[in-house]
Amino acid sequence: MNGTSGISWRQIRVGLAVTTALIVLALAVFFIGETGAVFGERYRLITLMPSASGLMQGASVRLAGQDVGKVEGIEFVPVAERSHPDHVLKITLGVNRAVREQIRSDSEARIRTLGLLGDKIIDLTPGSAEARVLETGDTVPSAVALDYEQMLGTAFELVDDVAVMLRSLRSIADSLLAGHGTAGQLLMDTTLYAELIRTSRSMNRFLTTVASGEGVLAQLAEDDELYEDLRSVIADLDTLTAVLVSGEGTLSRLLTDETLYWQLAGASARADSLLAALEAGEGTLGQLMTDQELYESVLKLLVDMQTVVTELRENPRKYVPPIRVF
C-alpha cells in the first residue's frame, strides 16, 4: 500500500481516539456544569407548584446560589390527588446527597430567572438547624416567585394608564388656558381676578377690625363678661332641659302627660266645632256674625243707648222727676 495515496488504519484509530476523547471531555464539562459533580450520588425530592412557566426538564437546581442538581421531571398532579388548589405541577428534583443536611422541612423552592436570556432554574433555600432533614421522596415547600411576564403585562397596563392620564391632563391644561369653566376663568379672567383681590382686601380689613377690638363681633371674641353671660344662658337652658325631661312643672307635664294632651286635643276639637257653627250662622252669636241686618239693628240699638246715657248724664231731671218728701 502506498502511504501517499490513502489513509492508513493507524491514522484512523488515532482520529477515533481523539474524537472519543473530545466527546468524553464535552460530556464531562456538561455534567460538571449541570450537577457540580460527575459522580455525585443524588437523591430525589419533590416540590409542588401552580405553574412552571419556562422551566424545562434538565434545568439547574441551586442551593444558596450553588449548583447541586437538576430537574428530572415535570408532570401534572391528578385533580383528585391535589391537596391544595396551587398544587398543579409535580416537579422532581435530583439533588446531590452531599448537601442533604442543608435541605430541611423549612427550606423553600422557587423558580428564578437566570441571566438576561431568561433561563429558569429551581432555587432552594437552606433550612434551619431545628427543622427536620428531608429524605428521598419528601416534598420541599414551594414559595411564590416573581412572574416577570405578569409584571411586564402589569407594567404595560400601567404605561397605558399613564398615557391616558397625561392626555387628560393635557386636555385640562388646554381648557384652562382657553378660559373654559370656572377654573379657566379664575386663571384667565382679569375681572374675576380683580374681584378676588378686592374681596381679599375687604376680608383683611374685617379681620384687622376684629383683631383691634372694635365692633360687636370683636366684643364677642374679646369680652369675658359676654362669654360668662353666654355660659350662664347655656347653663340655664341645660337646667330647663333637665326639668322638662324629669317631668316637673306645667310645661314638662304638657310635654309628657298624655292625659293633658288628649284634653287639649278635645278642647281644640270643640273649638273647631264652635267656630264652624259660628261661620255657618247657627245660634244667636252665629247670626250676629253672619246676619248683616241683625248686626246693623244691634249696632243702632247700641248707638241709641249711648245717646240716652249721654243725655241722662247731661240732663238727669229730664228723665227723673223731682222727689218730694211732703
Check residue 171 and give its pLDDT: 82
pLDDT at 27 over 80: no
Check residue 40 and give its pLDDT: 62
Of 19-23, 55-59, 255-259, where does mean pLDDT reach its minimum? 255-259
* Amino acid identity for residue 32 in this structure: I
Q: The cell 391616558 sits on which residue?
A: 164
Check residue 33 and give its pLDDT: 54
Tell me the C-alpha distance between 1 and 11, whole Å.
14
Q: Which three cell numbers stand for residue 110?
A: 422557587
Q: The cell 384667565 sits on which residue?
A: 188
Nearest to 48 by CA among 11, 21, 81: 81
Check residue 38 and give its pLDDT: 43
pLDDT at 218 over 70: no
Query: Which pLDDT band, with edges at 50, 70 and 90, does 308 fall under?
Result: confident
Residues 59, 98 contacting (CB under 8 angstroms): no
Residues 215, 209 contacting (CB under 8 angstroms): yes
Check residue 222 and give its pLDDT: 67
Calculated CA dihedral for residues 167, 169, 175, 180, nearest 10 degrees? 140
Helical spans, DSSP H, in the chain: 9-35, 148-177, 181-188, 190-212, 215-222, 224-246, 249-256, 258-280, 283-290, 292-314
Instruction: Give CB contacts under 8 A, 24+ apart, made by 256-263.
Output: none
pLDDT at 318 over 50: yes
Tell me the C-alpha distance between 54 and 293, whole Å.
114
Q: Which three cell numbers stand for residue 153?
A: 403585562
Q: What is the mean pLDDT of residues 260-264?
A: 74
In the chain, what percentage of residues exceed pLDDT 90? Answer: 4
Check residue 203 and give its pLDDT: 86
Tell me the C-alpha distance between 111 and 140, whole Å.
13
Query: Which pLDDT band, with edges at 50, 70 and 90, does 4 fall under?
Result: very low
Query: Which pLDDT band, with edges at 50, 70 and 90, does 1 fall under?
Result: very low
pLDDT at 242 over 70: yes
Residues 41, 96 contacting (CB under 8 angstroms): yes
Query: Which pLDDT band, with edges at 50, 70 and 90, does 180 fall under?
Result: confident
Q: Are strands 109-114 and 119-124 parallel, antiparallel or unpaired?
A: antiparallel
Of 91-95, 177-181, 218-222, 268-272, where does mean pLDDT reach its minimum? 218-222
pLDDT at 226 over 50: yes
- 125 against 156, higher pLDDT: 125
Predicted model pTM? 0.39
Domain ranges of the chain: 36-142, 151-185, 257-316
In the chain, what percentage of residues exceed pLDDT 70? Answer: 75
Check residue 84 and give its pLDDT: 84
Residues forming a β-bridge with 43? 95
pLDDT at 37 over 50: no
Nearest to 47 by CA among 73, 9, 81: 73
